[in-house]
């Protein structure tokens, strides 16, 4: 028994290889095989190997568009047996896709039977369906037998298959392609065939065309399922670099299907979207209440077209529901364009012009090879015809030679050995550029091909008519040969042939554009998904913010107990409340003098009793600062151009800036105003040149001055601390800022108007049986000795321009006063009195002074978290020195902390009573109802 050595030597024909090197080389070989032979299309014919083999095999089997349908199983079997040994399912799936009108822009397979549906239904088995090549496929296969492309052996070298098809139109762009290789992928959208051919023709005529020039012919992809492409930026990026993202949106309309009921009708969906899955997704969103407002969904699609009906509830807004569906379903998708294809056997990322140039180069080569092939065929025919001409001219000698020959070979040799008269042959040889015959001393010898042709000549060709046909055919061959030589020698001539062929194909494939392109800049924003409406926004001292729909708060009568506005965290209180539209911008100003910007709909929504969300989570860069001023901006941004911002601090400083200075605010905030130590912002308001600034203090002082370049100039930067607005007494601070319209009226006119207006109100109250208000006169310094009454016209003019201010104390008392009761003075003074605190009334501070409109409501918020909403018409108009009436009945330790106006009327109280007993200073008010 032979012993095996411990360390045997390897055979001489084996070399040691490290596992790393073997894995690397094997993997690269596998990757290139997948890339080149399976997953990526060729830029020349736009096909992968499996599609190319299916089309070629069906042509070889005679399953062309002008022949009857044949079983799909037959075609699949031929492809699998001859060219593609990868299983019948992969072949059939590829063939099915080429037959689907919703997958291919131009179908290459004409199918009969169930080839699936846009709902994702599977096709019938291949034994049940039938197929043949579509007319468009012939344009990819024509001239394949004229040496236009190279062939290679099939997998077992028993057959020859083409490496590429001689495609006559840019199929890669027309039908697109998708595939995943190893380490790379392709995703090319389909395009309109007439647009692509037009662009190709234009590029042939002008090779120096730019992308902008090509975009005039090809505005973008054209998907077979239609839809709408949003924007052109993604298209341009894809056409320029080969990569881009195209947003496709379904085509939908809002229709009234019956009285008071509307529906969203979807007629086209994005490319490669499963209609059944889409409807299931919508149903899931409705079931989970992610999308509300849908009452029913049904599919009414038929042979005439697609129709998905989405019924909308009566109270819902169809536009908002549709935008939500665009956001959360495949009614809007993004097609990631990745135009990667094989160019010269190498994967290459190409733009639109690159693909068209590659196709033109390939097609020119096909035309050149076809011309050479046809030239050889024409020369062979011409060469044979020259021999026939010689035989006909010497028919008696030819017949004698043939009759004397013992066999065919001897006859052929005898014909070739004899020298024939070349007098009539020389011009023919020159005409067809034939170099096969050599003329020596006026004699010519026949070639073997000519001798064979003569031996095969039928006797009927010897008639006079047939002799003329030989001459005519020879002339036609001569013309064809010269034309082919011109094509081979001249590139412009080849381009002309290409243009003519493309024009013919365009006439066959031209179809209207299916996909619209909307001039739509930017992506869809979340704002379009939000139901428009008024919101109440509240901010607490501890920095919690929330928004609540305004209709949650119903209107109550003056003196009611209110309802709970928010749950408190310890001693947290509401310090700021306002109402705004969901689509408004809101500027937030912090105690540190920084500005932040957010949309109302981005603020957290919560119930009236919820605590809200911490502002530090909404504004991460807020840090330890608190929000001390909030400014809802006009919803129409065009109004911003003529607006300024006026700032006021607790120390009495003011500053004016352009609103445009705060148009672009980073998420980290922007320095709004430089503040002195221990100072803080108390308010920011929009203003215009010529209006008046009103500042109110906690100790019931106020000042009003006009906004001009002399009194309050526009500051160029945001880093200034401003100028003095009011001179404060020790311990006092500014807590109110508002902007009033400036009315040109003398002191006498204002005093006369106030007296006349008060007298009219007393008369109206007497007629209604109400107790007249006690009117406190204005400062003696402002009332002239002689009271001059106003004319009715001037009174009406002042009344139309009158503004009314609401003043509320921390004890829940308040009043309205005419803005004419506040004189316009210079900036920086000590101001005038704003409210008189009665000794028998609790409270000694003004909470807020703000302008209000008749017919609106106001809200008061306390430090206990209670809130009341009441009509402003129930608050009396009194002199600016009056202490007011009870607006909010408070507990012993409760104080009003915030007051703000509401822009709509709201509802009545629970008991439906609108009339209440007017409370006096010592008369308790009647509750209009209280909510938990």
Distance between CA atoms of residues 105 and 758, nearest Å: 80
Element (H, E) at 857: strand 857-862
Residue in 695, 739, 928 with CA at minimum distance from that of residue 827: 695
Q: What is the CA radius of gyration of the chain?
A: 46
- Please check whether residue 246 is in contact with residue 229, taking contact to mean a CB–CB distance below 8 angstroms: yes
Element (H, E) at 702: strand 701-706
| Residue 239, both tokens | 């056409």
3-class SS letters over 343-392: ECCEEEECCHHHHHHHHHHHHHHHHHHHHHHHHHHHHHHHHHHHHHHHHH
| Residue 224, both tokens | 């077979």
| DSSP code, position 72 | H
- Please check whether residue 379 is in contact with residue 270, taking contact to mean a CB–CB distance below 8 angstroms: no
Burial of 45 (0-12, 13-18, 19+ CB in 10 A): buried
**Residue 128 bears catalytic tag:** yes
Distance between CA atoms of residues 562 and 551, nearest Å: 15
Most distant CA atoms of the chain, gap in Å: 156
CA angle, residues 617, 623, 628, in degrees to nearest 5: 90
Distance between CA atoms of residues 717 and 661, nearest Å: 8
Element (H, E) at 27: helix 19-34
DSSP 113-143: S----TT-PPPPPTTT-EEEE-HHHHHHHTT
Give the burial string for 393-403 (b: 16+ CB within 10 Å, else e).
eeeeebeebbe
Residue from 128, 217, 520, 596 carrying the catalytic annotation: 128
Distance between CA atoms of residues 775 and 878, nearest Å: 6
Distances (CA, A) of 796 to 761, 793, 802: 15, 5, 10
Distance between CA atoms of residues 113 and 101, nearest Å: 13
Active site residues: 128
């Amino acid at each position: 028994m032979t012993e095996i050595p411990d360390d045997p030597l390897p055979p001489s024909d084996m070399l040691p290889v490290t596992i790393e090197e073997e894995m690397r080389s094997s993997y690269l070989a596998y990757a290139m095989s997948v890339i080149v032979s399976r997953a990526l299309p060729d830029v020349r014919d736009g096909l992968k190997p499996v599609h190319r083999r299916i089309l070629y095999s069906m042509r070889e089997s005679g399953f062309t568009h002008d022949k009857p349908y044949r079983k799909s199983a037959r075609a699949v079997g031929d492809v699998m047996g001859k060219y593609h040994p990868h299983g019948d399912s992969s072949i059939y799936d590829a063939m099915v896709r080429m037959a689907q009108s919703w997958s291919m822009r131009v179908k290459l397979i004409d199918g009969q039977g169930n080839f699936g549906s846009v709902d994702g239904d599977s096709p019938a088995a291949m034994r049940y369906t039938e197929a043949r090549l579509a007319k468009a496929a012939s344009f990819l296969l024509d001239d394949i037998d004229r040496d236009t492309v190279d062939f290679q052996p099939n997998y077992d070298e028993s057959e020859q298959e083409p490496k590429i098809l001689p495609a006559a139109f840019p199929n890669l762009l027309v039908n697109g392609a998708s595939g995943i290789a190893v380490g790379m992928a392709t995703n090319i959208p389909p395009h309109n065939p007439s647009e692509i051919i037009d662009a190709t023709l234009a590029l042939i005529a002008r090779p120096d065309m730019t992308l902008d020039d090509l975009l005039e012919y090809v505005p973008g992809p054209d998907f077979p399922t239609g839809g709408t492409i949003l924007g052109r930026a993604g298209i341009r990026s894809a056409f320029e670099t080969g990569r881009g993202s195209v947003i496709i949106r379904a085509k939908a309309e809002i229709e009234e299907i019956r009285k008071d009921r509307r529906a969203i009708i979807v007629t086209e969906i994005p490319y490669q979207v499963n209609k059944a899955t889409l409807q299931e997704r919508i149903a899931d969103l409705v079931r989970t209440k992610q999308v509300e407002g849908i009452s029913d969904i049904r599919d009414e699609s038929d042979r005439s077209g697609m129709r998905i009906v989405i019924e909308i509830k009566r109270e819902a807004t169809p536009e908002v529901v549709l935008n939500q569906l665009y956001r959360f379903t495949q009614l809007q998708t993004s097609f990631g364009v990745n135009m990667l294809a094989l160019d010269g056997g190498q994967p290459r990322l190409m733009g639109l012009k690159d693909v068209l140039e590659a196709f033109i180069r390939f097609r020119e080569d096909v035309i050149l090879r076809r011309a050479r092939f046809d030239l050889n065929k024409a020369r062979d025919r011409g060469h044979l015809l020259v021999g026939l001409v010689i035989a006909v001219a010497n028919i008696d000698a030819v017949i004698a030679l043939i009759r004397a020959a013992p066999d065919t070979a001897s006859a052929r040799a005898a014909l070739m050995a004899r020298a024939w008269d070349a007098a009539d042959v020389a011009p023919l040889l020159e005409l067809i550029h034939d170099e096969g015959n050599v003329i020596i001393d006026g004699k010519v010898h026949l070639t073997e091909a000519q001798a064979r042709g003569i031996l095969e000549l039928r006797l009927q060709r010897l008639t006079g008519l047939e002799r003329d046909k030989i001459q005519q055919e020879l002339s036609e061959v001569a013309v064809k040969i010269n034309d082919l030589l011109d094509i081979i020698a001249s590139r412009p001539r080849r381009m002309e042939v290409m243009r003519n062929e493309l024009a013919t194909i365009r006439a066959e494939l031209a179809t209207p554009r299916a996909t619209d392109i909307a001039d739509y800049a930017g992506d869809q924003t979340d704002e379009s998904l939000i139901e428009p409406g008024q919101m109440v926004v509240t901010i607490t001292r501890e920095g919690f913010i929330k928004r609540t729909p305004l209709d949650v708060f119903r209107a109550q009568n003056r003196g009611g107990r209110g309802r709970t506005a928010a749950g408190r965290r310890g001693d947290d209180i509401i310090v700021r409340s306002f109402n705004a539209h969901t689509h408004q911008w809101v500027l937030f100003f912090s105690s540190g003098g920084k500005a932040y910007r957010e949309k109302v709909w981005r603020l957290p929504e919560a119930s009236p009793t919820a605590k809200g969300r911490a502002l530090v989570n909404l504004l991460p860069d807020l840090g330890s600062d608190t929000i001390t001023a909030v400014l809802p901006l006009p919803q129409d941004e065009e109004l911003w151009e003529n607006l300024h911002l006026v700032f006021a601090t607790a120390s009495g400083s003011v500053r004016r800036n352009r609103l445009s200075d705060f148009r672009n605010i980073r998420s980290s905030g922007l320095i709004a105003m430089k503040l002195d130590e221990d100072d803080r912002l108390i308010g920011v308001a929009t203003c215009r040149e010529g209006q008046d600034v009103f500042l109110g203090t906690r100790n019931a002082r106020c000042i009003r001055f006009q906004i001009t370049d002399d009194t309050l100039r526009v500051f160029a930067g945001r880093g200034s601390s401003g100028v003095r607005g009011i001179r404060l007494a020790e311990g006092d601070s500014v807590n109110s800022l508002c902007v009033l319209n400036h009315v040109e009226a003398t002191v006498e006119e204002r005093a006369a108007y106030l007296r006349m207006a008060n007298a009219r109100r007393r008369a109206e109250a007497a007629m209604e049986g109400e107790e007249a208000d006690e009117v406190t006169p204005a400062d003696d310094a402002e009332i002239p000795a002689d009271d001059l009454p106003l004319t009715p016209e001037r009174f009406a003019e002042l009344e139309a321009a009158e503004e009314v201010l609401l003043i509320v104390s921390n004890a829940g008392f308040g009043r309205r006063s005419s803005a004419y009761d506040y004189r316009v003075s210079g900036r920086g003074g000590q101001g005038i009195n704003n409210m008189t605190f009665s000794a028998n009334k609790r409270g000694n501070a003004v909470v807020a002074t703000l302008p209000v409109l008749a017919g609106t409501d106001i809200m008061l918020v306390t430090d206990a978290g209670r809130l009341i909403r009441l009509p402003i018409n129930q608050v009396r108009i009194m002199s600016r020195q009056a202490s007011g009436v009870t607006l909010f009945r408070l507990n012993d330790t409760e104080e009003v902390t915030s007051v703000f106006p509401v822009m709509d009327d709201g509802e009545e109280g629970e008991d439906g009573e609108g009339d209440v007993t007017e409370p006096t200073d010592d008369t308790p008010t009647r509750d209009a109802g209280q909510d938990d």
